[in-house]
Structure 1
């Protein structure tokens, strides 16, 4: 009887809170509808579609269970794209984090003149549309009349032009370099935010003790901001795994699938860009599999952050 009374009281209290906060929930409603329609529904629908043999363009839907997932396990192109996605991530994230950290440390110096201008210049590629960057870079990296090849040949660094986007051995790493250049500004902002957590008193005390700038950076500043590195690395890794717009606008996964990452692979199967029959069900299975892999990265980040916090707490005690 007492439990029933408590439950009724809690329900009444919840109803009262909902009525009192109805204006706030009303303002939240558009965002919740957008989230449900463009994020939550596609996630659930893709899991359902992955169990079907369906082109996505007609009403013929055949339930095949886990057959699409079984086919994925034997698809060489799937595993090549899967490995290529993580190779791209491993190749870009450390470079992006290191370069952006150097920029952040330099531009965090209040004595540096025009630091705001340099920050803007570094961040400018971030706000430039990917399609525009893709077109411009394709022109600049052209093998015969591209400015990059002409400049390298004029400097006698190359004996003949390089086909940066047409050579299967170069294309993925060329795209990686362009990706780092475009997004290094975002990671720099993350590092700048981390540097703001370092107390000003530490810099002043270091100056009074005669500590050199590089010593202050290496032995004091970096250890203090390293806990942020795990979060920044995860954000950068997830971003590097979602590189579809850049690759699609520049190479469409070519040549010979050598730059086809998971998102391009999913797009190719879902919409049959090569002229084959669209396979939305199979592409959905690949998307679910890839999403689970990214979820695994997120869980690893949570575990790593928790372990780091526990270790710091143990040190404090």
Structure 2
């Protein structure tokens, strides 16, 4: 063995030892991931795949798949006016929730991120509490708050002299959806506020100090410094908020159950009604077809918003 080979041999042994240690670490990592991966495959991927399969059968949710109907469930879904009513309500809810919640959360986040505000941690906690509260519980509480008789809202309005008699907030066609939207905004407001706070705290302070030195006022600093920097993050927040708002079930189920006269019916509630209630025998196959149609609609919205996010991020990077 030459002197050069003698120097090379320990290095090879060292590399081999490092490689074995790395493999052991990777093995432990995969072992830790395995339970979560198994649950993800069992309760997410498998139901998604089977929902496509069920949608081609006239199946009540029990027993084996026997009656193959092809695209009949899809044709019935597309022809059902109640599905499109729920579809319209779902997108109407999403539109107003995102339109009001995202900019309002930004304003509150700017205030909570201010150095002069005392007790900011307390206010952040108050705003975030509804996020960690069970939605079904919130829905039941809101039924009492907006109740016709002895409801807190009606009592306050009557005491203040704003109204003369109680209003049926959840039973009126004019106010039911409005109340659902208001509660939906309040329920998830804290999460959007946290998103904005994280974005604000990541901005470089040097730019704001430079703007202050140049004599920029608060509006100019917000318009020409803060807003362009927040635009890419804001696009992502809009994307996440839109997709999340298109899935509203437990809030509507506990507050109005889709009423009055299906005026607050949502697609998630529509699917649940056919899959588990059905007015007699459940129609899991038909509900699966409705879910697939709605899923493709959400996918289309996600792709469009994703392209907007990509373009926004690209423009920001070019600047």
CA distance in 2, matches of 1:19, 1:63: 49
How far residue 159 of structure 1 moved from its aligned partner, in angstroms, is 2.6
Give the distance between the partners of 1:74 and 1:18, measured in 2 at CA.
Answer: 56
Could you say which residue in structure 2 is the equivalent of 1:214? Answer: 219
By how many angstroms is 1:145 displaced? 1.3
Distance (whole Å) between structure 2 residues aligned to residue 241 and residue 309 of structure 1: 24
Q: Partners in 1 of 2:65 and 2:117 — Cα distance?
A: 65
CA contact (8 A) 2:239 2:306 kept: no
Residue of structure 1 equivalent to 2:304: 300
Displacement of 1:60 in angstroms is 6.0
Name 2:58's counterpart in structure 1. Answer: 53
- Relative distance call for 1:169 and 1:18 in structure 2 (3 A) is farther
Bigger radius of gyration among the two? 2
Listed as ranges, the matches of 1:65-76 within 5 Å are 65-76=70-81
Please give the secondary structure, in 2, of the residue aligned with 1:101. Answer: helix
Matched, 1:280 2:284: yes
8 Å contact kept, 2:235–2:312: no
Q: Is the 8 A contact 2:73 2:286 kept in 1?
A: yes
Q: Distance in 2 between matches of 1:79 and 1:193?
A: 38
Confirm or deny that 1:235 pairs with 2:240.
Answer: yes
Distance of 1:21 and 1:62 partners within structure 2:
47
Give CA-to-partner distance per residue, 1:166-218, whole Å, 9 cap, x none. 11221112111001011111000111111122211122223333322232122
Change (3 A) 1:21 1:126: same
Deviation larger for 91-100 or 18-27: 18-27
Cα drift, residue 20 of structure 1: 6.7
Secondary structure of the residue that 1:63 maps to in structure 2? coil
* TM-score, scaled relative to structure 2: 0.89
Describe how 1:102-121 pairs up with structure 2 within 5 A.
102-121=107-126
Deviates more, 1:21-30 or 1:258-267: 21-30
Shift in Å, 1:253:
1.1
How many residue pairs end up in the alignment? 300
Residue 100 of structure 1 corresponds to 105
Correspondence for 1:62: 67
**Residue number in structure 2 paired with 1:290:** 294
Task: Output one character per residue of 1:21-53: Cα deviation in whole Å (capped at 9) or x when no partner.
Answer: 222111110110010011000100100000100
Say what the alpha-carbon RMSD is for the aligned residues: 1.8
Q: How far 1:288 sits from its partner (Å)?
A: 0.8
Identify the residue that residue 309 of structure 1 maps to in structure 2: 313
Q: Secondary structure of 1:160's match?
A: coil
Q: Deviations over 1:51-92 (max 9, x none)?
A: 100111344631111110011111010111111100111111
Matched, 1:136 2:180: no
Normalising by structure 1, what TM-score?
A: 0.90
Name which of 166, 170, 186 aligns with 1:181. Answer: 186
Gaps of 5+ in 1: 1-15
